[in-house]
Amino acid sequence: MQILYTPYLTYTIDNQRKSGLLLPEVGNSDQRGIEFELPYYFNIAPNLDATLAPHYMSRRGIQAKGEFRYLRGGTSGVLTGEFLPNDDVTEENRGLVSWFNQSALPAGWRGTVDATDVSDSAYFEDLASGIAMTSQTHLRRRVDLEFFNHTWFSLLRVEDYETLNEAIAPEDEPYRRVPQRAINGLWPNAPLGLELGVESEFAYFDRTTGVTGLRSHLLPEVSWPVQIGPLLVEPYAAFDYTTYDLNDVDPAGDDSPSRSVPIYSVDMRTMLERFWGDGGKWLQTVEPRAQFVHVPFEDQAALPVFDTIEPDFDLVQLFRRNRYVGLDRLSDTDQLNLGITTRFIRSKDGSQFLTATIGETQYFSSRDVVLPGELPSDDGASDYIAELGMNINDQWNVDLGYQWDSDENVSRLAEARVLYRADDYRLLNLGYRFRRDSIEEIDVAGAWPLGDRWSAVGRFNYSLEENESLDRFVGLDYSTCCWGVRVVARRYLPSRDGGADSSLSLQLLLKGVGSSGGPADRLLDRGILGSDRFD
């Protein structure tokens, strides 16, 4: 079947790259109008290549897009740029520059640059596709110099952010770290069976509004793991010393506050196992764990908050000694963390059939250290948290998560996912997410052949809280031995004000001929695992 007439066309028939035109992308969206993109690939050298693509948008104009990739010795990187002169809607020049570079340096050092900059806060909403891009509130830019060996880890970092959401007040914007210096050491086989460690950090936090300054942190720590029969007991002790040298403090405030707090814990865990079933078909493990943590109270109200938050309570947070993430607060507590996990493993091949975990924290004193705007808590226990994962067979997979507030007698969080995967071309995915007073949504996605050559893909992401669709698309693929066609229709919410956008993408694929990985590819890769019809 003939699909393309051309007077002259060459392409590589082996795995060697070749300069030339890549397959075009055609589409339409409410934000950008009719779209056409024709990339050209430059095979500069075995370790260098580039792609340039004019991108026509009937509502916006002609955008230039480019990507340069390089690999030399221990260095690799990607430089990406986009430029739209005189946007027909905003009448402004708009652009994006992104650079990622990582270099392996001598003597165990590594350097990383990861930076993206855009011309305006609405760039992704207007010119990008996908909720993951359009929902960004900040762009992170960092330069790292790291050192690793068996004992030491060292980090020197300079980091700042570009704020994209104009609704974020200046006093709520993240701080720049100019710079951050961290040095950590670990000695797991110290004398007397001890494990020794030290964490240290020196970081200067800067911002146009609010308190700025230097934070210094030192945490020497020691633990003594002891095996008593099947039980592992691990006493732990550390001393947290954190001090500040602050600028722009209120006249009545302290410009050099500090914190000196000891940390104590005892961790006990074991693993019990047994074979059961016909002929020892199953191996079951029971893995209980208990951890007691004591941190005395010290008033920390005078300490600023540069980078500290209280994350959601989950199984990872359950066994952390500090309920905060960041160094500006160390929670006072007397608590007992309890958790138990059981696993069912198939004896014949060692594959895991089921894993289930439940946990809770019991508090024996009030927690009086708080972040600004929080109130002290005297609850006697945390929420119950539970997770269940089942690999029923090669085709069915189930994951469940649940959080229960026993004081209020309400569900705080629930998650469920059921995946059916007959093969790489037949899959269905059903998901549900609930977070009280915040999120309740369902997500249905799938890919399925409709015959020898046709197949369908689709996704429906719906908010039960807002009673509206967040993202939905449907696609059709037609594939032969040598070529294929993909068309994807989509409607989603790209902007923070709730406005919806509709798009239609058309992609021609010639097997063995490269493409730039256009919007249809990226959409299906994010929305449905294993959705590639043309490999």
Structure tokens at 156: 């020197």
Q: What type of residue sits at position 268? A: M
Distance CA 23, CA 43 (A): 16
| Coil/strand/helix, residue 351 | coil
Residues of the chain with pLDDT under 50: 529-535
Q: What type of residue sits at position 251? A: P
**So what's the pLDDT on residue 533?**
41
Distance CA 187, CA 198 (A): 9
C-alpha distances in angstroms, 488 versus 36, 58, 456, 493, 517? 15, 19, 10, 16, 14
| Residue whose tokens read 């082996």 | 14
Structure tokens at 45: 């050298």
**So what's the pLDDT on residue 495?**
61
User: Residue 122: CB partners within 8 Å, gap ≥ 6?
Assistant: 164, 495
Please report the DSSP string for 175-207 in residue order.
Answer: PEEEEEEEEEEEETT-GGG-EEEEEEEEEEEE-
**So what's the pLDDT on residue 29?**
87
Distance CA 17, CA 11 (A): 9
Distance CA 157, CA 160 (A): 10
Structure tokens at 307: 């980078």
Q: Which residues make beta-bridge pairs with 25?
A: 37, 507
Among residues 48, 51, 52, 45, the alpha carbon closest in space to that of 70 is found at: 48
Q: Exposed e or buried b for every residue in 413-450, given b needs 16+ CB within 10 A?
A: bbebbbbebeeeeebebebbbbbeeeebbebebbbebe
User: How far is C-alpha 407 from the chain's CA centre?
Assistant: 32
- Other C-beta atoms lying within 10 Å of the C-beta of residue 7: 4
**So what's the pLDDT on residue 284?**
94
The answer to whether the beta carbons of residues 257 and 302 sit under 8 Å apart is yes
Cα Dmax for the chain? 83
User: Residue 299: CB partners within 8 Å, gap ≥ 6?
Assistant: none
User: Residue 467: CB partners within 8 Å, gap ≥ 6?
Assistant: none
Burial grade of 520 (CB within 10 A; 0-12, 13-18, 19 or more): buried
H or E stretch at 315: helix 315-318
Q: What type of residue sits at position 9? A: L
H or E stretch at 101: strand 94-104
**So what's the pLDDT on residue 423?**
84
Phi-psi region of 33 (alpha: psi -120 to 50; beta: other; left: phi over 0): left
